[in-house]
Amino acid sequence: MTRAFSSGPAPHMPAPPTVAGVMTQVLIALVPGIIASAWFFGPGVLVQIVLASGFALAFEALFLRCRGRALQPFISDGSAVVTAVLFALCVPPLAPWWVAAIGMAAAIGLAKHLYGGLGQNPFNPAMVGYVVALVCFPAAMTQWLSPREIATAVPDLAAVLQAIFTGTLPGTLSIDAVTRATPLDSLKTGVEAGRFVSEIRQSPVFGDFGGRGWEWIANAYALGGLWLMYRRIISWHVPVAVIGSVLLISLPAWLLDPGANPEPLQHVFSGGLVLGAFFIATDPVSGCASPRGRLIFGAGVGIITLVIRRWGGYPDGVAFGVLLMNMAAPLIDRYTRPRVYGR
């Protein structure tokens, strides 16, 4: 039966959103970020999305079959594709195909179906897959391409496919010629080596206030995130808390010692902070439900991200921040539950 109006039965309240409808909106909101990423880092971004989506749907079908569940309603709801796209946007464009295979096996199998499937997962599936890939393939996960503006060699689609499916580049290109440390990695290693931030920022990987190219990608993700807020797919609490906590905590450190601490906008417009704030930490299943809980959850993600970036073993920390706060989400919800009127 075709629904003529987006309203329910009497008293004609708006019909609740469906899982497929929400996932479609999220995928639409990701389009600006995908276009920006593909522009600055080449066709490998799109190949990773297609590859991860194929593995995600295959593992979704496999685990649904193992659990004796019907395939059609879950395969077509879009949740596996959203997980795959978020994962693909976090991995280097030339990462070999087995990174996507292992990442999606962990995301769909361990993080989703092991806990009962969609709506039951306590941890964000995309971030579980990303962290498993990061631990299993640390070298492949750090080989980011140079942004188009400063690249000395840009691999075309044929070279990208060869790198992804064979793990090697054509003889005319070497991995050292096309990959470069990310802005966050350059900052972390430079500060640890005793160099001043102003000196480190002389590198061409830095733009006006963030990473070169990463600034525009973050703006594109923010545009999509604002669209989700306008459509009421997500609330403002988590994105504001994530980005606000990073700005508020990094500002005093920068004012006190600008030689050892990057300016606040550098943290926001480098790495995956904006993507995480709008699209990952806002996961309604693994995050908090109450408004106050979402603010605490988002602030926790921002604080943990800063701690890992400054003192941790990885240049970025959004994935670990989200997963650690996923663990705390039930407790936060318990103590921030709105008081029932009259009690």
Distance (Å, whole) CA 296 – CA 290:
10
User: Quick check: is 221 in a domain?
Assistant: no
User: Quick check: is 312 in a domain?
Assistant: no
Query: Hey, how many other C-beta atoms are within 10 angstroms of the C-beta on 14?
Result: 9
Query: Hey, how many other C-beta atoms are within 10 angstroms of the C-beta on 299?
Result: 21
Give the angle 205-316-184 at the CA atoms, nearest 5°.
20
For the chain, percent helix, then strand, then coil, each to nearest 5?
60, 0, 35
Residue 1 has pLDDT above 50, yes or no: no
The candidate with the shortest Cα–Cα distance to 288, out of 340, 246, 237, is: 237
Domain count, the chain: 1
The candidate with the shortest Cα–Cα distance to 334, out of 300, 292, 304, is: 292
Distance (Å, whole) CA 95 – CA 105:
16
Give the residue numbers spanning the domain of 92: 19-180
Predicted local distance difference test score (pLDDT) of residue 302: 96
Q: Are 250 and 284 in contact (CB under 8 A)?
A: no
User: Quick check: is 303 in a domain?
Assistant: no
Q: How confident is the model at residue 219 (pLDDT cuts 50, 70, 90)?
A: very high
Q: Are 242 and 302 in contact (CB under 8 A)?
A: yes
Q: Are 83 and 129 in contact (CB under 8 A)?
A: yes
User: Quick check: is 275 in a domain?
Assistant: no
Residue 38 has pLDDT above 80, yes or no: yes
| Token reading at 310 | 């400054």
Strands, DSSP E only, in 161-261? Answer: none
What is the DSSP secondary structure assignment for residue 118, as one 8-state letter?
A: T
Residue 177 has pLDDT above 80, yes or no: no
User: Quick check: is 203 in a domain?
Assistant: no
Predicted local distance difference test score (pLDDT) of residue 108: 96
User: Quick check: is 269 in a domain?
Assistant: no
Residue 169 has pLDDT above 90, yes or no: no
User: Quick check: is 223 in a domain?
Assistant: no
> 181-204 pLDDT, tens per residue?
888 999 888 988 889 998 999 988
Average pLDDT over residues 172-177: 76
User: Quick check: is 44 in a domain?
Assistant: yes
> 43-92 pLDDT, tens per residue?
999 999 999 999 999 999 999 999 998 888 888 899 999 999 999 999 99
CA 221 to each of CA 33, 91, 117: distance values in angstroms, whole numbers, following the listed order: 5, 16, 27
Predicted local distance difference test score (pLDDT) of residue 8: 59
